[in-house]
């Protein structure tokens, strides 16, 4: 049931996403919230890096965002993440950001 809920939560805003397995989607959500979050904030409200909320990214195009994720932004602290992400994964993350990034599923502990 948890898995079904997770898929429903994650899949809703991403009808166009290329086939990223649900398990990997959950990993990507965690990665963005936690690891990208060290510069952009866990709530993506910004820090050393800019805010990545839907409102903040309103004028950004998804392909450009995906390219930034893969290649980084020279002259800024934003690194290219291609060693850790495929291009479809970066595309998926960019789509999620544009739509308002999903919350991480908190495990029941």
Partner 1 sequence: MKRREVLTALGAAPASLWLGGCASAPAAPPAIATGTGDLGVVIERARGTLAVVNTSTRTLLGEIDGLGDLSHASVVFARDGATAYVFGRDGALSQVNLLTRRIDRRVQQAGNSIGGAISQDGTLVAAQNYTPGGIKVFDARTLALVADIPAEYAPGKLSRVVGLADLPGQRFVFSLFDAGAIWIADLSDPSNRAQPKLTKLAGIGKQPYDALVTPDGRHYIAGLFGEDGLALVDLWDDAPQARRILAGYGRGEQPLPVYKMPHLRGWAVAGRHAYLPAIGRHEVLVVDTATWQEVGRIPVAGQPVFVIARPDGRQVWVNFAVPDYDRVQVIDTVTQRIVRTLEPGKAVLHMEFTPRGEAVWISSRDANRVSVIDTQRFDTLATLTVDSPSGVFFTSRATRIGF
Only one of the segments 8-16, 18-26, 33-41, 56-64 lies at the binding site for partner 1 (rule: CB under 8 A); that segment is 33-41
Distances (CA, A) of 26 to 12, 23, 60, 92: 13, 5, 24, 12
| Total residues belonging to the chain | 109
Name the residue nearer to partner 1 (CB basis): 37 or 96.
Answer: 37
Q: What's CA 1's distance to the chain center, in Å?
A: 24
How far apart CA 9 and CA 78 sit, in angstroms, is 29
Site for partner 1 in 55-94 (CB under 8 A): 72, 75, 77, 79-81, 83-84
* Site for partner 1, rule CB under 8 A: 31, 34-35, 37-39, 41-43, 45-48, 72, 75, 77, 79-81, 83-84, 104, 106, 109
């Amino acid at each position: 049931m948890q898995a079904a809920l997770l898929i429903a939560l994650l899949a809703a805003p991403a009808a166009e996403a290329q086939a990223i397995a649900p398990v990997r989607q959950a990993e990507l959500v965690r990665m963005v919230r936690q690891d990208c979050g060290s510069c952009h904030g866990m709530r993506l409200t910004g820090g050393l890096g800019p805010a990545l909320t839907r409102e903040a990214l309103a004028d950004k195009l998804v392909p450009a965002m995906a390219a930034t994720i893969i290649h980084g932004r020279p002259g800024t602290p934003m690194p290219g993440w291609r060693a850790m992400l495929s291009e479809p994964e970066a595309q998926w993350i960019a789509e999620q950001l544009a739509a308002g990034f999903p919350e991480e599923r908190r495990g029941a502990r």
